Structure 1
Amino acid sequence: MSLYQEGILQAVPAHAVYLTLKLKNDSSAALLQQVLRELAAHADGNTLVIGIGASLAAALGQPIEGLVEFKDVADSRVRLPATPAALWCWLRQTERGALVMQLHQLLKMLAPAFEVQQQLDAFKYKEGRDLSGYEDGTENPHGDAAIAAAFVDEETPGLAGSSFVAVQQWTHRFERFDAMSTEQQDNAVGRRRSDNEELEDAPESAHVKRTAQEDFTPEAFMLRRSMPWAAQDQAGLMFVAFAHSFYPFEVQLRRMSGAEDGIVDALFQFTQPQTGSYFWCPPMKNGKPDLSLLDIV
């Protein structure tokens, strides 16, 4: 059986829900263990990917090495909200009705110890594009390179097969985007929307230049599994990136925010992050998430 939560490696689904939860004030360690044990029995790592927040690990008295809370970037030129949570669930389905029923059952299961912090509906747009029309995740690694980027290697005792995920909800301001010319839009991204080709003469503020994974030392590869979201009259991208540590995300965000060299990623012209949180995604054992590092067996 796989050591990984397979949903991390698979393409984004047709329908999804991103769910973050906080601890109820009266949740004892014993109750948390009981609920998490039941969650692990039902989570398959495929239609349901789970992540543990630092506050939950602390409440259980079992901190996870490398797991921290997301914090604002020092010297950032833009606002980067921090919204820590105890538990993260990524529900993945091919059919909307199945997703609704899965969510209902999951919330009922978690209700004794957790309460919803945020629930966001997401979906696949065309062949995997952001709502701006640009392809998302073009530079994702594949095959063995994806596994090396997204998961802790098997030589690391205890953490082998687990992953660290960074999650940010970005809200697009379409009125700003629509006011830009096609050339300005392409220059902001660093690719042509028409054929997804990278622009050789893109400005230094272009997103692809700000986040070129091979330009960092050490290299900052991660596996993106972002999806568009929509709620009432707002929409945007739920940015989700898995890696063997938070290093790749942190160095890329530092450069995007202008903290490194004063140049802010041009994406900030028309989209803004509303949330920011970190989670640890446990490995799989015998077909279910292995929570032994949390002293849950």
Structure 2
Amino acid sequence: MTQTQAGILAPVPAQARYVFYSLAACSAGDLRNALARLQAQVDGDKLVAGLGPQLVQHLDAQIPLLHECPHLQGPKFEAPSTPAALCLWLRGEERGELIARTHELSDLLAPALQLDRVIDAFVHQRGQGKHGRDLTGYEDGTENPEDDDAVACSIAQGQGSGHDGSSFWALQQWQHDFTAFRKMSAQTKDHAIGRRLSDNEELDDAPESAHVKRTAQESFDPEAFILRRSMPWWQVSPQGADHTGLMFSAFGCSFDAFEAQMRRMLGLDDGVSDALFEFSKPLTGSYFWCPPMQQGKLDLRLLDIGS
């Protein structure tokens, strides 16, 4: 039975790590051996794995619809492209467990894959529903599709064995400028997001630059629904200052919906930039393919790695 990696559809965990790897100078055989070792470690729940285009290409394999995240330049702002070979999304309750697990997995993948960077993330002010809040205080993922709709927009179906149950994963690390954000009036903040901070209600009179209006999923043709699983992140600079923001994480049955939203946010459709850029910017942009599961292990048959 082919299954989706369960963590994709589950609520975000209390604690998480996004662990990025690059390819070392290795043969395709060495890489296959490393992935075979990883295969049994990925349960799809506490550990979600995403494979980047360069990794797939190194194995002379093809995954339909998988490609690198494009660099997009709008009239005022841009979204960068920062390819990675592999991303492991570690999910749990205890920070210490995730740190120890990172070391174990990095040893397992060496020397074919080398650790590049780690982004630590967490839930902030999770309410009674599934959603937490961004560090700005606004709820994230309010318009997320649920149940069958969530599966339909985020999981590949009808594509054949080894592909059905997989998902295409877009990741961006957004850094917030809280100095700029704090200078904004309460109304300006609400109009930038398109919702009231106090009750999360959408504002009818929000300007066209409001984030909610820029990304209204049903307003695209075709509709651009994605499943968001974003989490706040935090790290301290060498100078001791907090660097914080949102690790934007979106799953789809292709990258089309994400790219449609990103192009509109940048003003590539109509010249109107998303007001979110006034206090936040994406530092990274990476695409991954999340293989399905089979018999409790990562299904890598499309990469010629046996189950």
TM-score in terms of structure 1 length: 0.97
Q: Which of 153, 158, 164 lines up with 1:160 in the alignment?
A: 164
* Pairing 1:89-238 to 2, within 5 Å after superposition: 89-127=88-126, 128-153=132-157, 155-158=158-161, 159-232=163-236, 233-238=242-247
* Structure 1 range deviating more: 70-79 or 135-144: 70-79
Offset at residue 77 of structure 1 (A): 3.2
Question: Counterpart amino acid of 1:259?
Answer: L
**Conserved 8 A contact 1:2-1:284:** yes
Q: Which of 252, 261, 266 lines up with 1:252 in the alignment?
A: 261
* Structure 1 range deviating more: 189-198 or 155-164: 155-164
Query: Partners of 1:287 and 1:218 in 2: how far apart?
Result: 35
2:85 aligned partner: 86
Query: Partners of 1:213 and 1:272 in 2: how far apart?
Result: 21
Q: Deviations over 1:46-74 (max 9, x none)?
A: 00000111100000000211000011125
Q: Deviations over 1:97-148 (max 9, x none)?
A: 2212211211111122111222111011011000000000000011011111
Query: Partners of 1:216 and 1:261 in 2: how far apart?
Result: 13
Query: Partners of 1:269 and 1:221 in 2: how far apart?
Result: 25
Query: Partners of 1:283 and 1:76 in 2: how far apart?
Result: 39
**Conserved 8 A contact 1:22-1:116:** yes
2:18 aligned partner: 18
2:129 aligned partner: none
* TM-align CA RMSD: 1.0
Q: Percent identity?
A: 54
Question: Counterpart amino acid of 2:284?
Answer: T
Local SS of the residue matching 2:248: strand
**Conserved 8 A contact 2:3-2:165:** yes
**Conserved 8 A contact 2:265-2:274:** yes
Question: Counterpart amino acid of 1:20?
Answer: F
**Structure 2 residue ranges without an equivalent (≥5):** 127-131, 237-241
TM-score in terms of structure 2 length: 0.94
**Conserved 8 A contact 1:2-1:287:** no
For the structure 1 residues 76 and 240, does the alpha-carbon distance in structure 2 shift closer, same or farther, using more than 3 Å as the test? farther
Q: Deviations over 1:187-221 (max 9, x none)?
A: 00000111000001100000000000000111110
**Conserved 8 A contact 1:77-1:262:** no
Offset at residue 178 of structure 1 (A): 0.2
Q: Which of 259, 280, 284 lines up with 1:275 in the alignment?
A: 284
